Chains A and B, each alone.
Chain A
Amino acid sequence: MIAQLVDLARRRADGGADALWRRFERTTVAFEWGRLKSAGTTEEAGANLRVRHRGRVGVAGTTAVGGGDAGEQYAAPLLERALASAELGEALDLEFPGPPSPPATLPTVTTFFDRAANASLDDLIGLGRSLLARLEREGCRVTVAIEREVTATRVANSAGAAGEYRGTGFGVSADVWRIAGDDVLVVSDAFEGADLPSDEALAALVASINARLDHALRIVAAPEGALPVVFTPVGLSALMLPVTQALSGKAVLQGISPLGAKVGEQVFDPRFSLTDDPLCGGRIASRPLDDECVPSRTLSLVEGGVVQRFMYDLETAARAKTRSTGHGQRGIFGKPVPAYTNIVLSGGAQQVGPVQLGGGLLGDIRDGLLVDELIGVGQGNVTGGAFSHPVALAYRIEAGEITGRVKDAAVAGNAYELWKQVRSFGNDARWTGSRWAPSVLFDGVSVAHR
């Protein structure tokens, strides 16, 4: 048991210990180029142990835990490696959090869904087939992947805090490929959630792909200049990444966050608010406590355009002389790192009825661009906010309507400059992976073409 591992570690490590044990089973079904191709299963279990000894911290991980839990015979060598790692470690005033008070009250969030856990291989295949049938079209090839995961997590530390929970995860992704001569078009979308996708969610996935594919069949010339540009919830990555990186306590500690000294300042448009919500129902990233025994709670990062606070795990919090916000994440190997769970961007209204591509923002645009996917997001100097990316999938907007797909165009700008003044937020907010955001319309984005 993990409690035994921590107990064993406590007897040797004078500054305490914490540990995580995780086991998962994943089932996958893949349809390649329009036909069922493979089915797979993965079983994995492992333990990660961290100790603090003589003021120094060490970490070790192993997948050699046998079929069950981290038993005594696996615990001893794991502990030896963690202690050896601590001998080299730098001094850190790491304090393991005690149990929540009143005792035994962790926040409630549903992470396990029977329907998802009990879905059979045939159910997964059936789901894929129905999706394939709805996406098939002349001249295109469809690739569909279905994935279901069942996890069990246990965390404990030497200060008496502990928690365990089971989780389910479901992923459905589809790519529609259309190659005409040297023009390669791929339109993709994915569902990700803790439960089986509802019929509405699958219908939305199909509609989203079809709408973007229909508009993409006609190729038009790219506009050029400083123009109004709508970024779809997916296309928004290039503008979100610098902000989320800068709001990580780790970037602040390193002195590379442009927001490091801006708490309490109006940095963004007053309609821009950003929270991280580990208690959001039905999401894969949700959990009652983090991987370092810190109970989950919703964290307000930016409120009304004003920077509120940064995201920390135990170590970055100890270094910054603050408290962990409950964002410790650890794998089987390596040490815990600060990581977001579900990032929620609020702004804009929720659409009632079917969502339109562009989130209702296209109406006032005389000439501009709708950006759905960019190439190379995350490359280069992200934290500074400057970006320059060719488009992978983008559309020209003329007189309030999409007139066709634009190739060979690039957009550039600075995320911080753009977020200062948003023209409008769309009514099409949705999950893209673990980020909830609507489409956003900015003015004066540089658009170039060849």
Chain B
Amino acid sequence: MIDRLTAALARSRADYTEIRVERTWSTAVTFRGRRLESATASEDQGGFVRALYAGGGWGVASFTSLDRLEAMVARAGELSRAVPVDPPIRLADVPPHQADALLDLDGDVRGVPIAEKKRLLEAYNGVMLGVSDRIVDTLAVYRDEVSEYWYVNSQGTRLHELRPEVTLSGTAVARRDGTIEKGLESIGLRRGWKSVQDKAAGFREVAERAVQLLDAPMVQGGTYPVILDPELAGVFIHEAFGHLSEADFVYENPQAREMMTLGRRFGKPVLNVGDNGAASGLRGTLPFDDEGTPTQDTALIRDGILVGRLHSRETAAAMGERPTGNARAISFRHPPIVRMTNTYIAGATGGASFEDLIGDVKLGVYACGAFGGQTMLENFSFTAAYGRMIRDGRVAELVKDVVLAGNLFQTLDRIDHIAADFRWNQMGGGCGKAGQYPLAVTEGAPHVRIEEALVGGEVGKA
């Protein structure tokens, strides 16, 4: 394949050309309640070409028929020439790499019969259903894939990778009369079949919690000291801050650039944030991004100060900074854009514990897990899976409908304590941006305290 792609590159007359080809084998099994909803195996394949003439814009072409490779290389060149761009697009230098990176498949999912995958998921689904007769519905999804990936560009980079991925998710719906609550378990790994065995405990826990939430009161809306558990803290830093650190947001927008000036204080000295595409064994980890740039650990906030941002080759050149290996595409159907990989809040070095964070909190909210989160730039909203009140320095009753909303800058600045109990949250799902969803990412954090945050719930009745 590499030879075929190299030959196609050689015929391109553009100043820069890159070709990506992917062939993906995937299986998916879904249970809803006791019923198997589907068990399918799919094969998806296609290619992507991006070309750049000096003084032209990007010409891009994607296609499912590899017979069309040469024609699409030509077409991408024509498209680039059809869109004059001034000032011209420049790409930051990246030395050419040649690599055959066959990631550890950890039990190649392609060798496991789909009936066995069904049995595994049926067992996890059964665990949720077995928790209580209050569990009226479940949704359990197993998905795996192995993607064979080829990338070449006209500057000499030649990559061949085999990328595994396996995700498991379970939603348990508990109901009593008109009250409906849910619990959500999600596991996502860049590994294989072996890694998803013995996962029943997590499915049981979320189903039990869904039942408990039926009796839990809605959190009283208002402002509180809020402690985020590592899962929600990870989602928070990804959604509320991570997207602003993507350089395609700032590089051609002077006002945004000013807002995100390096050296600006974003938080108290306890706050350290980064993105590490090279971290070992995580779902957001890959040796190279989709422009052939090696991934790396990029510091974004150090001791509360903005020190870096995430780049593609284009944004790095435009801002006079170095590429960070963050140009990613979810598939051959899409161009690479600036994305996160494994984004984290670093654990405190002092060794503070969760108890240290809540010790002096008279009345607060411990917000745990995430049903979802969305940011509209400086404003964000997160729905915690559940919460617990903190009263007089102790964790107290379970509460539901904990929605955290706020302004990014204010909220980051109000992070006043960070524990040392860092962990990566290996969840499924993924990140969405510019129509590209779901991108495999990981988030990590320790327990984090926000001295004051707005918690939705019974808004307006407080």
Contact = CB atoms under 8 A, between A and B. Distances in A.
Interface of A: 29, 32-46, 58-67, 81, 84-85, 87-90, 121-122, 125, 139, 141, 177-184, 186, 224-226, 254-256, 258, 333-335, 373, 375-376, 378-381, 383-384, 386, 388-390, 392, 407-408, 410-412, 446-448, 450
A228 B454 CA distance: 23
Given A41-B60, A44-B64, A88-B118, A139 B255 contact: yes
Given A63-B45, A180-B255, A254 B40 contact: no
Interface string B7-30: 000000000000000000000100
Contact of A335 (B40, B67, B68, B175): B40
B377 A186 contact: yes
Contact of A412 (B32, B223, B378, B459): B459
Contact of B457 (A67, A81, A388): A388
Given A38-B57, A258-B178, A45 B64 contact: yes
Nearest to A34: B252
Interface string B63-101: 111011000100110011011111001000000000000
Contacts of B373: 376, 379
A43 B44 contact: no
B255 A125 contact: no
Contacts of A89: 36, 38-39
Contacts of A379: 371-374, 381, 383
Contacts of B252: 32-35, 141
Interface string B285-303: 0000000000000000000
Contacts of B43: 62-64
B62 interface: yes
Contacts of A388: 221, 401, 403, 456-457, 459
Contacts of B374: 375-376, 379
Interface residues of B, number: 86
B460 A381 contact: no
Contacts of A58: 39-40
Nearest to A450: B454
Contact of B136 (A43, A66, A255, A389): A255
Nearest 6 CB-CB pairings of A with B:
A446-B460, A379-B372, A179-B255, A38-B58, A376-B381, A40-B60
Given A37-B83, A376-B403, A448-B221, A410 B459 contact: yes
Nearest to B178: A258
29 contacts: A33-B252, A36-B57, A37-B83, A42-B63, A43-B68, A44-B46, A61-B40, A66-B65, A88-B36, A88-B114, A88-B118, A90-B35, A122-B82, A179-B255, A183-B378, A186-B377, A225-B460, A255-B137, A256-B173, A334-B38, A334-B40, A376-B374, A378-B372, A388-B221, A390-B380, A410-B456, A448-B456, A448-B459, A450-B406
B405 interface: yes
Contacts of A84: 41, 114
A43 B39 CA distance: 28
A394 to B, nearest CB: 11
Interface in B361-392: 371-383
B112 interface: no
A168 to B, nearest CB: 19
A447 B41 contact: no
A320 to B, nearest CB: 13
Contacts of A40: 58-62, 79, 335
A178 B378 CA distance: 12
B280 interface: no
A275 B462 CA distance: 38
Contacts of B259: 179, 181-182, 184
B371 A380 contact: yes
Contact of A63 (B64, B375, B457): B64
Interface of B: 28, 32-33, 35-46, 57-65, 67-68, 72, 75-76, 79-80, 82-86, 89, 114-115, 118, 136-137, 173, 175, 178-182, 221, 223, 252-253, 255-256, 258-259, 333, 335, 371-383, 401, 403, 405-407, 409, 454, 456-462
A85 B39 contact: yes
B167 to A, nearest CB: 15
A412 B381 CA distance: 13
A295 to B, nearest CB: 26
A373 to B, nearest CB: 8
Contacts of A37: 57-58, 83, 85, 89
Counting chain B CB atoms within 10 Å of each CB, which of A33, A224, A335 scores highest?
A: A33
B32 A254 contact: yes
A81 B41 contact: yes
B24 to A, nearest CB: 10
A46 B454 CA distance: 48
A237 to B, nearest CB: 12
A141 B68 contact: no
B60 A38 contact: yes
A67 B72 CA distance: 13
Given A37-B58, A38-B60, A42-B333, A179 B256 contact: yes
A389 B256 contact: no
Contacts of B37: 335
A35 B61 CA distance: 20
Contacts of B61: 40-43
Contact of A44 (B33, B63, B115, B173): B63
A348 B259 CA distance: 43
A379 B76 CA distance: 38
A412 B460 CA distance: 8
A34 B35 CA distance: 51
Contacts of A178: 255
A32 B46 CA distance: 27
A383 B136 CA distance: 14
B137 A256 contact: yes
A31 B41 CA distance: 38
Given A38-B83, A43-B68, A412-B459, A380 B38 contact: no
B137 A254 contact: yes
Nearest to A388: B456
A386 B401 contact: yes
Nearest to B461: A446
B182 to A, nearest CB: 7
B405 A410 contact: yes
Counting chain A CB atoms within 10 Å of each CB, which of B65, B82, B89, B454 scores highest?
A: B65
Contacts of B137: 254-256
Contacts of B76: 41
A212 to B, nearest CB: 14
Counting chain A CB atoms within 10 Å of each CB, which of B86, B456, B459 scores highest?
A: B459
Contact of A182 (B59, B64, B179, B378): B378
A140 to B, nearest CB: 9
B460 A447 contact: yes
A96 B181 CA distance: 36
A88 B459 contact: no
B459 A411 contact: yes
